[in-house]
Structure 1
């Protein structure tokens, strides 16, 4: 189940990148891979709990100890105006902005029958509405400079293959894929590329114990025979941020070990 970690990353030493939701497992993995590629990274955290704050500042310290440039930036993306303030803070801290990874999101479990309108609206506001606002603010901050500038949304293979009790989550992720295509169309003339990365099931501590049947089913059916890791997702984001992807925009990159090629899982 271990991913190959010894990967030669492209040189992103000139890039200034904001990663939202970077205090969580996937977000911290994305931030680590960008830092490993030489990018200067703004680590966003919500700050709703001591654990979130500690995770963000521990990550920043780790990246700095490895020789990277990293700063922690706080915002509750559910608050009005928070997206624009977050981008402004990242720009001040990094001296500009070249890339944005929209990773922050929530994933509550509830069937359609159980979901209230308020719960539905919260998931779409956090997972989709905040991305719209962040992308809008980031694109304005990036300007029209002649350089490699980009936005990447973290979607999910659930955008096309939903799981039970995930309707609001799947709908929001499908919206991210279409937002990226629409934004690619409109921001392309300014030289800003917009893509999505759609992970499959990502490993995390305790997952195999909490959901053994799901993990076993995934491993049995996925062509590559394992779960994704946070590094896998981060590597995909770094790839899309690199000059090697200079002519790639409006695309959805599934990082799922081939699961979408199977009849189902």
Structure 2
């Protein structure tokens, strides 16, 4: 196991599901995890400074941030309103932008955004989501360039389809398609994504920045023709 004992890590959107799995893997590695429980704790576009400052003040330092808070509504593009588009972009892109700026002011060393394979492989009904995740990947790369001279690393993790309670009964055809397409023949788990985040926050990744780490069981390696 990677040892992050004594490191302080802020995980946004850690109230359940993917965020909880990420937080758990950091705790397993010995880190002190500050869990931002989700959007109900405040709008990260305007409340990022408070969220980050509180995480910093709890332990006196902040070593890593995982920007996981996000939304994934399904809305067909022809019927999508500007308000629906803006809501997703504000949550998935502007929130991490604001958290990143605040974290840098607190001396953070590693920042990881949770993006998606939909940043390059969009699905129907997810135009706003896919666009926000593509932009998030580019934000991380731009931030890596600008913050690198200060020793700050910024990366993204792009998950594939992640298991959650009830998904097999709610979307059986989608799960079946995924398992047939993925070379590793299964859905991902929150812990799979957490492992990637722990790695990127560790010294093992000390020369990795501006990188998008795809964690999808190999599904994007399949030919599309």
Alignment TM-score > 0.5, same fold: yes
The 2-side partners of 1:106 and 1:139 are apart by 24
CA shift for structure 1 position 45: 1.4
Match 2:51 to one of 86, 90, 93: 86
The 2-side partners of 1:211 and 1:264 are apart by 22
CA contact (8 A) 1:185 1:250 kept: yes
Paired residue secondary structure (2:145) = helix
Q: Could you say which residue in structure 2 is the equivalent of 1:203? A: 163
Match 2:44 to one of 60, 77, 81: 77
Match 1:182 to one of 142, 161, 181: 142
CA shift for structure 1 position 77: 2.1
Written as runs of structure 1 = structure 2, the 5 A alignment for 1:1-265 is 9-46=1-38, 48=40, 74-78=41-45, 80=46, 82-142=47-107, 149-264=109-224
The 2-side partners of 1:104 and 1:225 are apart by 27
CA contact (8 A) 1:83 1:134 kept: yes
CA contact (8 A) 1:42 1:94 kept: no
CA shift for structure 1 position 47: 6.5
The 2-side partners of 1:85 and 1:264 are apart by 45
The 1-side partners of 2:65 and 2:86 are apart by 24
The 1-side partners of 2:107 and 2:176 are apart by 44
| Aligned-CA RMSD value | 1.3
Moved over 6 A (4+): none
* Uncovered stretches (5+) of structure 1, i.e. residues with no partner: 1-8, 49-73, 144-148
After superposing the two structures, state which structure 1 stretch, 227-236 or 89-98, moved more.
Answer: 89-98
CA shift for structure 1 position 114: 1.4
Paired residue secondary structure (1:202) = coil
Scaled by the length of structure 2, the TM-score of the pair is: 0.97
Paired residue secondary structure (2:79) = coil
The 2-side partners of 1:76 and 1:23 are apart by 15
The 2-side partners of 1:174 and 1:46 are apart by 22
The count of aligned residue pairs is: 225
Give 1 or 2: higher helix fraction.
2
The 1-side partners of 2:76 and 2:157 are apart by 25
